[in-house]
C-alpha cells in the first residue's frame, strides 16, 4: 500500500505544479501575451484567438483544481484506512482499476450502475426534420420542398 501512497502523493505534486504554472500564466495580462504593438487594433476580432485560449486555460485550471480535490480526498481516505473500498457497496476496488484511476471511489459494478442512471435532460431530445414545423407548412431551400423525396430532374 505504500506504493499507492507514493503514487497518490506524486499525482498530487504533479497537479499542484500544473496549477501553479497555469495560475502564473493567468496572472500575466493579456496585452503582454500577444504580439501586437497595441491592444487596440484595426479589427476587434484580431485578439479573439488569444481570448479564446485564455478562457480555455481558465477551464483547464478549474478542471485541474477539481482533480486535486479528488486526489486530496483519496489521500484522506488512505489515512483513514478506507482507500480502495467502494463508497457505495463497501467492496474492495479491483487493484487494476486503482492503477488506472488512482483516485476512484467506486468499484466497476457501482460505477456502471451510476452511469446507467443518467437520464439526459429534455433539451437533448433529438428532433426529426418533420417535427420542425408544428403548423404543417413546408420548409423550403432554394424553392424546393425540404421534405419532398421526389427530386427534380
| pTM across the whole model | 0.63
Q: How many helices (H) and strands (E) does the chain have?
A: 5, 2
Question: 16 or 36: which carries more pLDDT confidence?
Answer: 16
Domains and CATH numbers, the chain: 2-119 (1.20.120.910)
**What contacts 117, CB < 8 A, 6 or more positions away?**
none
C-alpha cell at 68: 486535486
Which of 47-51, 56-60, 75-79, 87-91 shows the lowest per-residue confidence on average (mean pLDDT)?
47-51
- Average pLDDT over the chain reads 78
C-alpha cell at 2: 505504500
Amino acid at each position: 500500500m505504500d506504493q499507492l501512497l507514493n503514487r497518490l502523493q506524486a499525482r498530487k505534486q504533479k497537479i499542484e505544479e500544473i496549477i501553479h504554472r497555469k495560475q502564473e500564466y493567468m496572472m500575466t495580462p493579456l496585452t503582454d501575451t500577444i504580439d501586437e504593438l497595441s491592444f487596440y487594433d484595426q479589427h476587434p476580432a484580431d485578439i479573439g484567438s488569444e481570448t479564446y485560449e485564455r478562457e480555455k486555460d481558465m477551464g483547464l485550471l478549474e478542471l485541474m483544481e477539481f482533480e486535486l480535490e479528488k486526489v486530496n480526498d483519496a489521500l484522506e481516505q488512505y489515512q483513514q484506512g478506507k482507500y480502495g473500498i467502494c463508497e457505495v457497496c463497501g467492496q474492495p476496488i479491483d487493484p487494476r482499476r486503482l492503477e488506472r484511476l488512482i483516485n476512484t471511489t467506486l468499484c466497476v459494478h457501482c460505477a456502471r450502475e451510476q452511469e446507467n442512471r443518467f437520464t439526459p435532460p429534455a433539451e437533448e431530445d433529438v428532433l426529426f426534420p418533420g417535427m420542425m414545423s408544428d403548423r404543417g407548412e413546408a420548409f423550403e431551400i432554394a424553392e424546393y420542398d425540404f421534405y419532398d423525396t421526389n427530386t427534380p430532374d
